Amino acid sequence: MAKLTRTKLPSAARARETPRRRCWWAENSGADYLRYHDEEWGRPVHDDRRLFEMLTLEGAQAGLSWSTILRKRAGYRRAFANFNVGRVAAFDARRRAALLRDSAIVRNRLKIDSTVTNARAFLGVQREFGSFDRYLWSFAGGRPRANCPRRGAVPARTALSDALSKDLASRGFRFVGSTIIYAFLQAVGVVNDHTRDCYLCPRIRSPAARPRSRSPPVRPRRSAQ
């Protein structure tokens, strides 16, 4: 009798045999949720246009589900000039009124007006710090914070989101409460909250192996009154 040998499966086939474990909120979710979890959430973002987009979408989510916002994401990009901050900052009352009739976005006057207000405040941060990216990441010392929380132990807000929320509000931003801002920090990878059982949770090195912070946070610079 011929000797039977076990054939090794290609790596791609083995991956299909063993489904990846994900954060609880992405399990049994639709394709948009899975793509968002796998390709965006928790990954560091340094592009100002993308940062403005996520700040807008997180504010728009207030009182709604994230799945609703993901479904309307293309509509938001069209309605808000692909999140070109300068163009959104110039939206006048007539343009904002037209957006209230646009079913492709959340038709909430306060949220629409806040997007325009936030665009103007965003430009102010860019003028002061050179980029919103530099301002934002200074609050985390310039590096992502990998928390690797246990399933069910992801916080809704932290001291970091409290500090950023307070500073944004002082600069005229709206819909920037600490809970909204913590979701924003997760979305743009300033904090990485993929849970310990998720395949995207980064490995945490021992404290002795971690490098010291390279530079202190950049503090707001106020012009003389």
* Distance between CA atoms of residues 111 and 117, nearest Å: 10
Active-site pick, 36, 41, 135, 137: 36
66 catalytically annotated: yes
The first and second tokens of residue 214, run together, are 């390279």
Euclidean distance between CA atoms 172 and 163, whole angstroms: 15
Q: Is 17 a catalytic residue?
A: no
Tell me the longest C-alpha to C-alpha distance in the chain: 93
> Of 33, 41, 53, 66, which one is the catalytic site residue?
66
Angle ∠(212,216,220) on CA atoms, nearest 5: 160
| Active-site annotation holds for 58 | yes
Of the residues 33, 41, 58, 137, only one is catalytic, namely: 58
Query: In 134-206, which ranges are E strands?
Result: 145-146, 191-192
Residue 131 burial class via C-beta count within 10 angstroms: exposed 0-12, middle 13-18, buried 19 and up? middle
Catalytic residue IDs = 36, 58, 66
